[in-house]
Amino acid sequence: MTKDDKAFDDILQQAQALGPLPMAVAHPCSREALLGATEAAEHGIATPILVGPRAKLAKLAEELDIDLGRYEVVDTPHSHASAEQAVSLVRDGYADILMKGSLHTDEFMSEVLARGTGIRTDRRISHVFIMKVESYPRYLFITDAAISIAPDLMTKKDICQNAIDLTHALGISRPKVAILAAVETINPAMTATLDAAALCKMADRGQITGAILDGP
């Protein structure tokens, strides 16, 4: 095992300590998606429920030498139905984790955010990359990297709080949040710099909690 292989060992150990949680996997019909789901099971952090076309999953499993009989399979006709059914399993409490497989993000997220049938909350949903860079001693959490295209100030507030709450769940009690913009000074012509300053002031006044904010 190389140094890089051990980069996320502490996070993995925390997940293992919680025991394997049921995980609905929406349309794991690619090599990477199916292997990701089964490796999560092998590491003891999740019990995959594979939601997708059974025949396609069986063919892929055979190619990858995976025993599909070890996992629960929910047969669906296509990717849209896979997303709908996987979200339903989480909403009904049958699964605790939702994993995106080999389907388009917009197709997946449309079911996650569907009013009445999705799993949205009052807070804006956002995405976080957790990265480990060899030249930096701590984890980097980069957000929002995939969902919000042009967030306004209140959306950025939710994005900050979501990332902060994630770090708390991983045992980081006082994370530092760097709010990035193209320049490091406030420029009225650049909304991103004004928003950064406003977010810092919101943290000072308790509208964002649990972290130290600075920016732009």
Q: Which domains does the chain have, with CATH numbers?
A: 19-112 (3.40.50.10950), 128-214 (no CATH)
Asked if 141 and 167 count as a contact pair (C-beta separation under 8 A), the reply is yes
Asked whether residue 3 carries a pLDDT value surpassing 60, the answer given is: no
Exposed / middle / buried, residue 196 (Cβ in 10 Å: 0-12, 13-18, 19+): buried
Asked if 40 and 49 count as a contact pair (C-beta separation under 8 A), the reply is no
Which pTM value belongs to this model?
0.85
Asked if 167 and 130 count as a contact pair (C-beta separation under 8 A), the reply is no
Pairing of strands 21-26, 46-52: parallel
Mean pLDDT of 43-53: 96
Mean pLDDT of 121-129: 92
Asked if 86 and 73 count as a contact pair (C-beta separation under 8 A), the reply is no
Q: With bands split at pLDDT 50, 70 and 90, how would you rate the model's confidence at 5? A: low
At what angle are helices 79-91 and 105-112 packed, to 10 degrees?
30
- Tens-place pLDDT, residues 142-198: 999 888 889 999 999 999 999 999 999 999 999 999 999 999 999 999 999 999 999
Q: Is 209 helix (H, G, I), strand (E, B) or coil?
A: coil
Average pLDDT of the chain?
93
CA distance 69 to 180: 47
Q: With bands split at pLDDT 50, 70 and 90, how would you rate the model's confidence at 19? A: confident
Structure tokens at 31: 């090599």
